[in-house]
Amino acid sequence: MLAWRAVIFGMVACVLALSGCEGPPKPAGEAQNRPEAAVNAAPAGPSATPGQPVPGGRIVMAVIGEPSNLIPPLSSDSASHEVADLLYVSPLRYDKDIQLECFAAERYEVADDGKLLKFWLRPGIRWTDGVELTAEDVEFTYKLMIDPKTPTAYAEDYKAVASFTVTGKYSFEVRYAEPFARSLVTWAGAILPKHLLAGQDLMNTRYAREPVGAGPYTLTSWEPGRKLVLDVNPDYFEGRAYIDQVVYRIIPDQSTMFLELKAGGIDMMGLTPQQYLYQTNGPAWAADWQKFKYLSFAYTYLGYNLKSPFFRDVRVRQAFAHAVNKEDVIKGALLGLGLPTIGPYKPGTWMYDEAIKDYAYDPALAKKLLAEAGWEDRNGDGVLEDASGRPFAFTILTNQGNEQRVKTATIIQSQLAAIGVRAEIRTVEWASFIKEFVDKGNFDALILGWNITQDPDVFDVWHSSRAVPGGLNFVGFQNAAADALLNRGRHTVDQAARKKIYDAFQEILHQEQPYLFLYAPYALPILSARFQDVAVAPAGISYNFTKWWVPRDRQKFRLEK
């Protein structure tokens, strides 16, 4: 759930029979309630060079963490999904305005008040080994997702399906027992190859590192800890992407990335606020680079292990909310390039509850709440202790290489010290961070981020059933009222009704404080000016990646033909 990916709510209410790929009608008022485009700034660099797009060239991008595997349902890290997005196709996808459109499906219909979906795939789509993609591959993917032996965090949407029927070589139908708000969104997930993965042990299959997809690129090499190389798929059904080769260099530190950028070792990265505001200005930068700024579909949070003796008491978590000054965090860690947030939704969107008043910065009240929870400075050393004499001393865990998260942790550490709480900071390499600490619940508290989906359903992160090893509810939040709202929300299709449900859900999170929601940062990508037809949209800048191109006289690489 991390990366440049975003998903949108597929509205199916009041639809008896829709066909074609315009999809369901836009809910009334949606355009007015989606101001994302308004906060998207134009690139700071030069405009696209006029001319006819030509194939060729290479783009080198940096990722801070190595992919865990390239079978999309088995990974929840941004690096895995960013690479996999170029390897696989799905029946539906999201356009630049984050609206569902056809992809591998040439058309679909919604019938029976939203309880029946009919899809027709495009004939002639081929996996990169030459085998044709058919409805049996979609059926295989569906069955894989609902198989309890499949170690995926994304099964719940597929489990909502009452029946799946292949109706032809390229067609299938999906029936639901009741309207399901995420019904169309479900089919924007990657299709997996039946002829290769059937009967495979997904945790040990070679296809996790040697994937076969049907997307615009194919993986040609993976050097662990160094880079992944993707070559263009000349038989891609939408037409060959212009850029010949995509290289992902694994660079687990943003400062090192920036040095590589200046040296010409990479063509694209996400800048830190310091780099964006102060280190990429002047004529040379304006001539050679394009800079972008827009509010990202992401938020950063301090998450508590609710099994920890430090954080079981809600008064402690509320005290932390009063002890941390989010404005100071944003100024110090982001140099002001972010917005404070109170829940798991993007500020300014229709699902964000503007009525919730954030906890006021009030260290005195924080101390009072901690005292009520049994934490007092009993020996005069400046650190609070509980009745047994145990000091309130815990570790904030985050991943190496992310300057904003480390700075955020440092500011929080200082603010907590002012109320008698001692916090140590530990950074861990990304793969180990996820595998050994996050997935196993082996932490006191952590600073991490989630991508924000356009659909308000956050079942996989917050429902009690997902508080299992390897699940996305790794803080262990369990609340019956929240579960009931999450269940209702995913079976309610009217946007106004859903708004009330998810507002009530946000109120529970606000009171319980399983996370201290901190901020939504601005995305600050920088890209070499060699690349043309790049523009900001509500979906970001990579929505039309296959259409980016480089003038022939500026290409640094061409594939052998």
Q: How far apart are CA 501 and CA 468, in angstroms?
A: 25
Per-domain residue ranges for the chain?
298-522
Mean pLDDT by 10 residues, the chain (561 residues): 31 34 35 27 44 95 92 88 96 93 97 95 98 98 96 92 98 96 95 97 93 98 96 98 97 94 96 96 96 94 98 98 98 97 94 96 98 97 96 97 94 98 96 91 96 89 94 96 96 93 98 98 97 93 96 80 41
Contact call for residues 2 and 451 (beta carbons, < 8 A): yes
Q: How high is the pLDDT of residue 468?
A: 92
The CA angle 71-76-81, to the nearest 5 degrees, is 55
Query: Of 531, 551, 530, which Cα lies nearest the Cα of 541?
Result: 531
Provide the 10 A C-beta neighbour count for residue 168.
11
Which secondary structure element, helix H or strand E, spans residue 382, and what is its range?
none
Q: How high is the pLDDT of residue 232?
A: 98
The CA angle 164-127-210, to the nearest 5 degrees, is 105
First CA to last CA distance, the chain: 37
Which secondary structure element, helix H or strand E, spans residue 57, and what is its range?
none
Contact call for residues 144 and 192 (beta carbons, < 8 A): yes
- What is the four-CA torsion angle of 391, 396, 397, 401, rounded to 10 degrees? -140
Query: Per residue in 141-159, pLDDT tens?
Result: 999 999 999 999 899 999 9
Q: How high is the pLDDT of residue 25?
A: 30
3-state secondary structure of 176: strand
Look-up of token digits 């569902």: 100
Q: How far apart are CA 208 and CA 456, in angstroms?
A: 30
**What are 254's two structure tokens?**
């943003």
Contact call for residues 260 and 268 (beta carbons, < 8 A): no
Distances in whole angstroms, Cα of residue 235 to Cα of each of 44, 129, 215, 516, 558: 35, 11, 9, 47, 17
The CA angle 4-558-85, to the nearest 5 degrees, is 20
Contact call for residues 399 and 405 (beta carbons, < 8 A): yes
- What is the four-CA torsion angle of 111, 113, 115, 116, rounded to 10 degrees? 0
Q: How many H helices and E strands in the chain? A: 16, 21
Q: How high is the pLDDT of residue 21?
A: 63
469: left (phi over 0), alpha (psi -120 to 50) or beta: beta
Cβ burial 414-439 (10 Å sphere, 16+ → b, else e): ebbeebbbbbebebbebbebbeebbb
Q: How far apart are CA 527 and CA 305, in angstroms?
A: 38
Q: How high is the pLDDT of residue 559?
A: 62
Q: How high is the pLDDT of residue 558?
A: 61
- What is the four-CA torsion angle of 125, 94, 49, 256, rounded to 10 degrees? -100
**What are 434's two structure tokens?**
């996820």
Q: How far apart are CA 431 and CA 75, in angstroms?
A: 11
Q: How high is the pLDDT of residue 437?
A: 95
Q: How high is the pLDDT of residue 24?
A: 34
Distances in whole angstroms, Cα of residue 120 to Cα of each of 91, 103, 125, 148, 362: 9, 11, 12, 28, 58
Residue 163 class from Cβ within 10 Å (0-12 exposed, 13-18 middle, 19+ buried)? exposed
Query: Of 351, 343, 349, which Cα lies nearest the Cα of 502?
Result: 351
Any idea how long the chain is? Answer: 561
| pTM of the full structure | 0.84
- Asked: is 298-522 a CATH 3.40.50.300 domain? The reply is no
**What are 312's two structure tokens?**
């079981």
